[in-house]
Structure 1
Amino acid sequence: MKIIQLQLYVLICCRAAVSDQLTDPGSNVTINCDLEEDEVYWIFLKTPDPPTVILRSMSTTQSPFYLNKTSRKKYSVQFKHRLVINNVTADELGVYYCMNTDSPPKLSNSTRLHFTESTQLTECHNHTAVEFIDDQNQTQWKIIIIISALMNGLLLIAVIGLVKVFVVGNRKSAEESQLNTDLLQQNQVIEEDQEQLQYATMDFSKLRRNIRSSQINSTYAALNLPKS
């Protein structure tokens, strides 16, 4: 296959005779081969792709040999190696050759297949419209992405604010509960101190009474003179 492609490159570069054939999308096109050969290759050239061998046509049999299975639905052969292209689309536009299978290789005159000018203008208009629609869709997607990003940013800010409020509230509640606990403990300590102080005061008063009574008794004993 590489040798055939190399031969095709050389032969195509050496030939300049090209005939144009106009067609419309969806129509069937027939291309004639001007070589008087029993077997020929049909070759398709679509720049910048390399030449492609579509099929091998044999005059002894009606069914050609397809080198690519996908070509069966698109190409067929009639009498005298005439190539038939069914339901032409933009993919089939290009230059077609037929070449003999023997040596030295011979290449027929080429046929360039392309659409009519009205069809080309319609395709150009459709392509422009599609590009315009694509640009509009891209613009709309950009706007949607920007709005979504802003909404996500606002949502994130709101969530962060709620988290801060929740955390600060918990901290304040913990501090208030701790402060209440400390106040209760301080009140209990103060009450205990007051009770101890009251107890100490009561004991001191008893002590003072005991001291006074002992003093009185000693004074009275001193005043009691001995009997004569």
Structure 2
Amino acid sequence: MATFMRVGRHPNIVNLIAVVLKGRPMIVMEYCPHGSLYQYLQNLKADNAETEITADVDFLLSKLQQIAIGMAFLTTRGILHRDLAARNVLLDDNLTAKISDFGLARARSEYILQRPNIKLPLGWMAPETLIPGDGRYSEKSDVWSFGVITWECFTYGQTPYSQSFPLGLDVDGLSQFLLSGQRLILPETCPDWMRALVADCWSWEVSGRLSFKEIVSLMGKYSKVANPEEEIETL
């Protein structure tokens, strides 16, 4: 609840509508009828099971830009999401992407995971967050996850690293895979400039990664949003 109150309102997050304190406490959240971005991508794949998927690349890029704007806004509020994935992005009436599920969010610029046995979304996690009992989260960890969401979009909801780890992911295996310089491979449908951007999201060194504000600015050069940086501001 404290996290929701701290966040405020923005077009690219699922907004808090009300809090019910009488009787059983409840929160009322913004309704997004099109469900998760992950399910939307899966439906596209199912609808085109026998043919090549031809979703508009501009559509995919627009969703990613909206996610980047929403995350840049959260960063200005001092919020780390820590579970940024297509399953946690919802689509409203107009198919606007809205970041949801702040279950793992923390209101600080850097966070150290204190409970090594908690189940975590390994496929979306940055290398520095994989250290048991000492995983450090920052904005740049969420930036790594943004790169994985980009891969999800262009593969229409495939599971990260499923081909490299057919029996399932484990911390040691993934750490060694990433340390060796290997990364998820983006499909050819992803534009070259977006590939370069994602490569900067997946730098092993935290300091080598982009910030969300930089991502918004770079994507703005190729998008139809005239001044995307202005979209970061609080409503």
TM-score relative to the length of structure 2: 0.22
Query: Higher relative contact order by CA 8 Å / sep ≥ 6: 1 or 2?
Result: 2
TM-score relative to the length of structure 1: 0.22
Q: Which has the higher helix share?
A: 1
